[in-house]
Structure 1
């Protein structure tokens, strides 16, 4: 465990050095946040039916999505890990006394956390003081905020376990682009990153609720906005824990199977 903690700290410190890239990312995410909000604002101003989520809650959803993008995006990748698998340098990793799964998990977790720390605070600081209707409101009460933090952190742990499955799949496909496209496009859509889950048709929501992806992004954002009650949030956090343990167990099992079949050629 000490080795995993050391790797986590080193990757976190290394990731916090990329401040210029983070500032560029903040500008990009502000741009997309305004674009998405304006699209939803136009949609809401021209609809005569009752919407399943209010515009204020939807604006909160968008700003949280932009602020914590590094926590929830599945296409966030480490090209070094892809190269280790595809070039055969995975042999060096196999010589380490610690398990590969734990080391890679610590690396990916630290990278996402460092990126979010650099980007989230500036975005949230500005979003709280924007003019209406673009302003992000404060949480409805302190309890909802605490539940949001817990749900967001559990969502982060879940998204890393899902990312690990993506890297493990490259042992079989040997195509980082294919695995990234499959996990990124499908996973982010089902997580509500393209269309918020409440705005999806009922038949699609039934599919989304069965899969783990929505628990990484849609669930914590709706807890903050108050669209999900505190009682439902407590139940949802329990479901997040179950999914996390299940995905972690699946990932470790899949990694062990993949490493047993690894063939490294060359000299």
Structure 2
């Protein structure tokens, strides 16, 4: 574990150097945050029925999306790993005295953490001082805060486990384009990043509830806003852990199978 911790620490420190890129990201995410809020505000003002989630809860949901975007977006990728696979330089990775899955997992986790740490605080601080109806508010209780942080971290671990399948698929396809698009688009849709899950039609919502994607974003954000009760949150934590163990196990199986097929020529 010391090897993976060292990789995580070094990549985290390296990622914290990109402050100009983070500033540009913060500006962009404020633009998208305001745009989404104004769109949904217009829908709510003209709604003929009571929506399943209040506008205030939805505004919190949207600001959390923007603040922790690098935690939850599946199209956030490491081109270095893609190049290692497609150029044959994966041979150097095979020489490392550690498991490739754990090494890549720690690396990807650090990249998301460093990017989120640079972006989330400016967004959240400003959002707390905005005028109504754009203002962000604190969770309803200390318990809700603890559950939010727990589920957010589990969601981050789950996102990295899901994204690992994109890299594993490149061993078979030799191109990251298809798997990135398919997993990215489907994952972000069912995570509630395009349409919040509570606003989906019932048949689509039932699909989202059986997939792991909503536990990366929709679930922790609705705990923060108070839309998910604490008892349901505890059940959801168990589901998050189950998905995490299952996806890591399947990912290791898939990577080991892919590595058995690797042929490196030349040199």
Per the alignment, residue 249 of structure 1 pairs with 249
Q: What is the DSSP-based 3-state SS (H/G/I as helix, E as strand, rest coil) of the residue aligned with 2:53?
A: coil
| TM-score for both structures, normalised by structure 2 | 0.99
Q: What is the DSSP-based 3-state SS (H/G/I as helix, E as strand, rest coil) of the residue aligned with 1:227?
A: coil
Per the alignment, residue 218 of structure 1 pairs with 218
Gapped regions of structure 1 (runs ≥ 5):
none
The 4+ residue runs of structure 1 with deviation greater than 4 A are none
- Written as runs of structure 1 = structure 2, the 5 A alignment for 1:119-198 is 119-198=119-198
What is the Cα deviation at residue 48 of structure 1? 1.6
In the alignment, does 2:6 pair up with 1:6? yes
Q: Distance in 1 between matches of 2:193 and 2:131?
A: 24
Q: Distance in 2 between matches of 1:143 and 1:248?
A: 29
What is the Cα deviation at residue 264 of structure 1? 1.4
Q: What is the DSSP-based 3-state SS (H/G/I as helix, E as strand, rest coil) of the residue aligned with 1:97?
A: coil
Per the alignment, residue 80 of structure 1 pairs with 80
Q: Distance in 2 between matches of 1:211 and 1:174?
A: 27
Q: Distance in 1 between matches of 2:171 and 2:179?
A: 10
Provide, for residues 39-94 of structure 1, a one-character-per-residue CA deviation record: whole Å limited to 9, x for no partner. Answer: 00000000120100000000000000000001000000000000001111001101
Q: What is the RMSD of the two structures over their aligned residues, measured on CA atoms?
A: 0.6
What is the Cα deviation at residue 5 of structure 1? 0.8
What is the Cα deviation at residue 265 of structure 1? 2.0
What is the Cα deviation at residue 96 of structure 1? 1.0
Per the alignment, residue 205 of structure 1 pairs with 205
Q: Distance in 1 between matches of 2:166 and 2:208?
A: 19
Q: Distance in 2 between matches of 1:204 and 1:256?
A: 34
Q: Distance in 2 between matches of 1:120 and 1:263?
A: 42
Per the alignment, residue 240 of structure 1 pairs with 240
Gapped regions of structure 2 (runs ≥ 5):
none
Per the alignment, residue 116 of structure 1 pairs with 116
Q: Distance in 1 between matches of 2:72 and 2:58?
A: 17
Q: Distance in 1 between matches of 2:97 and 2:132?
A: 56
Provide, for residues 222-247 of structure 1, a one-character-per-residue CA deviation record: whole Å limited to 9, x for no partner. Answer: 00000000111011011100110000
Aligned pairs, how many? 267
